Structure formats: C-alpha cells, structure tokens
C-alpha cells in the first residue's frame, strides 16, 4: 500500500440540495484536513449534546418545547455522526486487506487522519 492513497471520501457536509459531497484524491491534502477538523468538531459537539440531553430528559420540570428542541438537535447530530461513520467505513473498506502480512499483527495501515 502506498502513502499517497487515492480514495473517494465522503465529506462532512452536503450540497445545498442535500446531496453528499465527495473528495477524490490524497488523504493528506488541505481539504481532507479541513474535513478532519470539521468531523472532530461535530463529534465533540455530539458528546456535549448527549450530556445536555441527559440533563433535559432527567429534569421533571422540562417543558415539551425544551424536549422537542433537544430531540431536534439530537436528530441533527445523529445525522452528522452517521455521515462520519459512513465516510470512515467507506475508507476502511477501500484498504487492501490482502496486502497485510499474514504474520503481521498490526494489519493494514489507515490513511492519515482516519480517526480525527
């Protein structure tokens, strides 16, 4: 496997019409790094939102409006996290697992920034 892998990466944003955007090229380019940073922010915000949602749902005084608001934000966040998971899964499936040495416990190497 070479260090300059050409892959089609689903980016963590969509077109104005809601269609997925893809980057074809090296996993080490500037746009790939921007996508890595955005994914990192989205995952961090998802973690923060989980804590907030737990607080709202655990509050017996929470209003229906507050619960709906949290549910809407959780839906948005889950959509982003799902897109990140699909993108990373796609990139993992493109790795050439047959190139890994059978006696090598490390297995194939992931592209740079694969885990944000």
* pLDDT tens series, the chain, 116 aa: 445 556 688 899 889 998 989 988 777 888 889 999 999 999 999 999 999 999 999 999 999 999 999 999 999 999 999 999 988 888 787 765 555 555 555 555 555 555 55
CA gap 107, 103 in Å, rounded: 9
pLDDT number for residue 107: 52
Distance, in Å, from the CA atom of 8 to the CA atom of 25, rounded to the nearest integer, reads 7
In 3D space, the residue among 74, 84, 80, 82 whose CA is nearest the CA of residue 54 turns out to be: 74
């Amino acid at each position: 496997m070479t260090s300059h892998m050409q892959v089609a990466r689903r980016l963590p944003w969509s077109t104005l019409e809601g269609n997925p955007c893809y980057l074809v090229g090296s996993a080490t380019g500037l746009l790939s790094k921007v996508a890595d940073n955005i994914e990192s922010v989205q995952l961090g915000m998802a973690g923060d939102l989980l804590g907030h949602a737990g607080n709202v749902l655990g509050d017996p005084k929470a209003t229906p409006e507050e619960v709906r608001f949290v549910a809407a934000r959780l839906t948005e966040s889950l959509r982003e996290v799902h897109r990140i998971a699909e993108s990373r899964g796609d990139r993992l499936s493109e790795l050439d697992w047959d190139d890994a040495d059978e006696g090598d416990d490390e297995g194939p190497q992931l592209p740079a920034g694969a885990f944000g």
